[in-house]
Chain A
Amino acid sequence: EVQLVESGGGLVQPGGSLRLSCAASGFTFSTYSMNWVRQAPGKGLEWVSYISSSSSTIYYADSVKGRFTISRDNAKNSLYLQMNSLRAEDTAVYYCAREGGSGFLYYFDYWGQGTLVTVSS
């Protein structure tokens, strides 16, 4: 059974840092691209970042570029999101999501349960 379990969320002051983790199991983690997606309270889904299976390709949403860093450790079946210079508008539930597909078809077929990040003084 595929499982994605996020951790590392919590309350942090504006300007602070936080590192999220996503532990993967039930599939060959090293062969899948992964993503972080967030959802602010009462708002829609917002894609945050993508990392390819080998970490060779990384993308960020403009809203987090230069502040967030995505990484992975295939030996540990883990995905990470280092979040620096946090702002109130980064307050959200953060989900990790596995990406399937190829060519012109891509989809997020498995999601974690999410971890809440609250940025407030």
Chain B
Amino acid sequence: SSELTQDPAVSVALGQTVRITCQGDSLRSYYASWYQQKPGQAPVLVIYGKNNRPSGIPDRFSGSSSGNTASLTITGAQAEDEADYYCKSRDSSGNLRVFGGGTKLTVL
């Protein structure tokens, strides 16, 4: 079982804002990173740390963190944002890497 908990599925209307959350005790000590994965493709890093975007990631993607919860927010969701989203951080020992179970985002 994952030490990071995500909602299995979330939906958002086109152009609206959606927040995907990730909960885990290790998030009190370690920042989360977020990955987007579309069918048949490798994951892509979209947010890391408090709110850092790699080059090429649209600024509609943002991140935040409070206590044991990290969040990925998409402001003005686009059809191409429909994908699975995974958070990643560390386990309670701080040594092992761990992924959340993933959230399937549907853009209506």
Residues of A at the B interface (CB closer than 8 Å) are 35, 37, 44-47, 50, 59, 61, 95, 100-101, 104-109, 111-114
Interface size class on chain B is 20 to 34
Report B's interface with A, CB cutoff 8 A: 2, 29-31, 33, 35, 37, 42-45, 48-49, 54, 84, 86, 88, 90, 95-102
CA distance A24 to B68 in the complex (A): 35
Residues of chain B within 8 A (CB-CB) of A114 are 42
How many pairs of residues, A versus B, come closer than 8 Å at their CB atoms? 66
CB-CB under 8 A from A112, the residues of chain B are 42
Structural contact, B45 and A109, CB atoms closer than 8 A: yes
Min CB–CB distance A47 → chain B (angstroms): 4
Whether B88 pairs with A107 at a CB distance below 8 angstroms is yes
**In the complex, given contacts A101-B48, A107-B45, A109-B54, what are 18 additional A-B residue pairs having Cβ atoms less than 8 angstroms apart?**
A35-B97, A44-B99, A44-B102, A45-B86, A45-B99, A46-B99, A47-B96, A47-B98, A50-B96, A50-B97, A61-B96, A100-B48, A106-B97, A107-B33, A107-B88, A108-B33, A109-B45, A111-B44
Counting chain A CB atoms within 10 Å of each CB, the highest count among B2, B33, B84, B98 belongs to B33
Residues of B near A46 (CB, < 8 A) are 99
Instruction: Give 3 nearest A-B pairs by CB, closest first.
Output: A107-B33, A107-B48, A44-B102
